[in-house]
Amino acid sequence: MKPSFVISLTLCSISAAVGQEILSDPGTLGPALETIHLFYDQWLTGFTVSASGHIFVNYPPVFPNSINFTVGEIVNGREVPYPNLEINTPPGGRLNYSTNPPTSSNSEDHLIGVISVITDTEDRLWILDSGRVASTEGLAETAYGGPKLIGMHLTHNTIFKKILFDQTAVPADGYLNDVRIDLNPALTPSGQGVAYISDNSPEGRTAIVVVDLGSGAASRKLVGDPSISSHPGFVPFIWGEAVYSNSSSISHFSVGVDGIALSADGSTLYYCPAGGRSLYGIETKYLLDNSHNSDVLSRSQIQVLGDKGLSDGLETDSNNNIYGGNMEDNSIIKFNPKTGLVQPFVRDPRLSWTDTLSVATDGYLYFTENQLWRAPIYWGGIDRRVKPYAMFRVKLPDGGVKVSRPRRE
């Protein structure tokens, strides 16, 4: 055959193929995203929307870059320190260089490294300070005074509660990550309700910390259980890329218990490690039990609820749907405990790391996209995050709103 004949035959078959419609991924699903805020400066994780529509945001210093404040509020489209700059500015800095290696600041009167903010069913703000700050050598350990839970009245922006965690509640290499509050007075003798906190210690000392909001007593539950630990060998695939922990050496993507969410009635805590794709649950009565065999009993009561994809935060609405990211599918899923089914709810190519989800009283699911997977620790020190980070919202299905769990006497 003459070469020219071969070429013309090939061109002919290419032009024939171009005209074909090949079935392909539609890429989107569910309600359209509304953009609420774009973040051009500090990197954020958590946020919450109050009943009157105030949006509070937190910026954890987990990568070695400086932040001016770790809790802020979005006011007229601008991010400003909340409740003020002073409480966000530990004297001497967030890191304490008088120790070697440096430790995180121990200032109990200041916010050190806030990782989560939420509003409770009485529209009060809870600020979870991990007390842990990154130095150039990695996450510095905490010192007593750093890890704490602060309750604030939003009417006068005053602190009504401060619970400091000692090292039996949270070891120096613990990392308090997310919190859920149940104000049901029947839960503890103090009658002031309970906080459930995920500890996803990167050093592997994971736990669910249960805190009596009245006495401040805290106990570590399910310590190191496989259900709250990163799954061995886990590799997320996001936007067509395999994500490894990539700094001085390469290792599997490893994050322990991260997302937690209470069922609408407070009777079950749902949770998931961010180093895996599974959803778990446990009835809260087992977490509240401090009897002699409670550790063994609680581990025997863990519900394995199946795969939902990789999520960071979890959230609940008044219809008792549980929402979480499914990062590898650019989507947010909805888990229905009644049917046991996980279904995609929203899908959009802008989704890649849905960090925090927050249901507001206005009937919307708000969520943040913060590109965590593109941070330097996953790419050999190269920061592949591209500002702005984003906060979106979508309308909840079936008239869902924020859970209201009135205090039961």
- Asked whether position 234 contacts ligand NAG by CB under 6 A, the answer is no
CB nearer to ligand NAG: give 61 or 259: 61
Using CB under 6 A as the binding criterion, the count of chain residues that bind ligand NAG stands at: 18
- Asked whether position 352 contacts ligand NAG by CB under 6 A, the answer is no
Stretch that binds ligand NAG, among 157-165, 243-251, 256-264, 273-281 (CB under 6 A): 243-251
- Asked whether position 251 contacts ligand NAG by CB under 6 A, the answer is no
Rounded-to-5 percentages of helix, strand, coil across the chain? 10, 35, 50
CB of residue 353 to ligand NAG, shortest distance in Å: 16
- Give the whole-angstrom CA distance, residue 147 versus residue 201: 13
- Asked whether position 239 contacts ligand NAG by CB under 6 A, the answer is no
Beta pairing partners, 300: none
- Asked whether position 321 contacts ligand NAG by CB under 6 A, the answer is no
- Asked whether position 233 contacts ligand NAG by CB under 6 A, the answer is no
- Give the whole-angstrom CA distance, residue 308 versus residue 270: 12
- Asked whether position 99 contacts ligand NAG by CB under 6 A, the answer is yes
Task: Enter the tokens of residue 142.
Answer: 């905490």
Out of 143, 222, 264, 302, point to the residue binding ligand NAG (CB under 6 A).
Answer: 143
CB of residue 203 to ligand NAG, shortest distance in Å: 20
CB of residue 110 to ligand NAG, shortest distance in Å: 9
> Are the beta carbons of 204 and 143 closer than 8 angstroms?
no
- Asked whether position 92 contacts ligand NAG by CB under 6 A, the answer is yes
- Give the whole-angstrom CA distance, residue 296 versus residue 221: 10
- Give the whole-angstrom CA distance, residue 52 versus residue 156: 14
CB nearer to ligand NAG: give 44 or 394: 44
- Asked whether position 96 contacts ligand NAG by CB under 6 A, the answer is yes
Q: Which DSSP symbol is given to 91?
A: T
How would you class 173 by CB atoms within 10 Å of its CB: exposed for 0-12, middle for 13-18, buried for 19 or more? middle
Stretch that binds ligand NAG, among 93-101, 124-132, 223-231, 349-357 (CB under 6 A): 93-101
Q: Which residues contact 279 (CB under 8 A, 6 or more apart)?
A: 270, 271, 272, 305, 306, 307, 308, 311, 322, 324, 335, 342
Phi and psi at 190, nearest 5°, equal: -70, -25
Contact positions toward ligand NAG, by CB under 6 A? 41-42, 68, 79, 92, 96, 98-99, 105-107, 143, 244, 246, 250, 379-380, 382
